[in-house]
Amino acid sequence: MPRHKKAFHRRYRLPLTSRRRLLAITGAVILLTMLGWTLFGIVEPAFQTRIIMTTGADNGIYQGFAHKYAPILKRDSVTLDIRPSSGSVENYERLKDSNSEYEVGFIQSGTVEARESDGLQTIAAVSYEPIWVFYRGDVIVNRLAQLRGKRIGIGIRGSGLLRVSLALLAFSGVTRDNSQLTEVDAQAAYRRLEDGSLDAAFFIGRPDAPMQETLLNSDLKLVSFAQADAIVQKFPSLSKVTFPRASTSIVDDNPTSDVTLLASTALLVAKDALHPALVYLLLDAARTVHAGEDYFTPLGAFPNLNTAEFPVSKESERYFESGRPFLQRYLPFWLASFIERRLLILLPFMAVLIGIMQALPRMLESRVNNRFVVWYRALKSLEDEIWKTAHPSADEIARWWNELEYIDVNASRIRVPSRHLHDVYALKQAISVVRDRISMAAMKERE
């Protein structure tokens, strides 16, 4: 290539310092992004793939729910670790302990006194839990007050049934002072009703549960709550439901009339620290298991958020308004969760990075301008001195020439991007103006 062409390319080529600066900025952006991603992976523990659930008695209604949830969660590679308990009250005690391993469980409405400090949230109300009172004898019992003085099974310690049965009996004036109230589980209560050592007993569960089917097909009689409306007013966490005539057997017309029952609501409750992605999975499982119609509810009545026992999860509110989050609808659960967790930190990180990138050009611009400001100040100071000196000496004029030469040399050495070359030549013009001032002063000194 001819020499003049080489000189031309060198003159208009991007300066090496500018290329290095561009590479440095690009490298810094990539490095910061990788650092943020890596840091999140180190700080954030591996995504949880197991949920520990406290349920209820073996073969009970809550355990039945849990066993239906497990295979649904397994589709998304989440294992449900099912742990039995004595019931609703024990579940509550386990969940409110922040140091316990339990994360999710079922709690019966009206059985605990929830506090804000518990750190618990309702994922959903999932099912009615009808309360059945079976009794022996020929006299029709439709008011609990008629059981005064009787031997009554009321559930076991730690169960929600115990709390509810004691409260219902107390409303009717039946207490430990005037009746024999026995803490006993469902199996033992049925046996003792059969052998005559109990006169009545409280049970809880769905009509198709094995214990309820046994009771409904026995010779025991079932209380139809004649005062249900009044009781529900005093006990708002209960609902009035109807067990229709012939629901047990149409052939045998059993029962022979509609039976009015009281029902608690089963709540799916979790610690508020449970990962939001797992809340959505549990809601999907609850909808699959509980959305069907049964004796007491129409299709789609459950799950719902019609409860005030605990604060409702924000994820649940969003789920019932618009379903799963966007990514979880179209991506495998593990991938959606992976992206969401990293976006949680990358979005604010990128916001900071964008702010830095926007500020960086202004910072560089300011730095370039400062290179000119230094010499403009020196030049202005020199010019002011020239104007103030009416009769300069030869030494002063020589010093001024030296200072101006020093400024001119350094102005020529200022390295700036091409867009600032006009500033370099503007400075050189200013230097020429001061050079003329010194020349005029030298002429006066010779005169």
The answer to whether 120 and 149 are in contact (CB under 8 A) is no
What does the pLDDT average to over 329-354?
62
Q: Please name the residue ranges forming H helices in 3-151.
A: 3-12, 16-43, 61-74, 88-96
pTM of the model: 0.64
Q: Is the pLDDT of residue 15 over 50?
A: no
Which residues 6+ apart lie within 8 Å of 310 measured at CB? 107, 114, 118, 120, 121, 122, 267, 269
- Find where tokens 């039945």 sit: 64
- What CATH number was assigned to the domain covering residues 50-324? 3.40.190.10
Interstrand relation of 50-54 and 104-108 (parallel, antiparallel or unpaired): parallel
Q: From CA 328, how far away is CA 357, in angstroms rounded?
A: 32
What does the pLDDT average to over 138-150?
96
pLDDT of residue 5: 40
pLDDT of residue 4: 37
Q: Is the pLDDT of residue 14 over 50?
A: no
Tell me the helix, strand and coil percentages in the chain, rounded to 5.
Answer: 55, 15, 30
Q: From CA 182, how far away is CA 191, in angstroms rounded?
A: 14
All CATH 3.40.190.10 domain ranges in the chain, comma separated: 50-324
Which residues 6+ apart lie within 8 Å of 79 measured at CB? 49, 50, 51, 70, 73
Among 112-126, 341-355, 399-413, top mean pLDDT goes to: 112-126
pLDDT, one tens digit per residue, over 43-74 is 444 467 899 999 988 888 899 999 999 999 99
Among residues 109, 134, 236, the alpha carbon closest in space to that of 184 is found at: 134
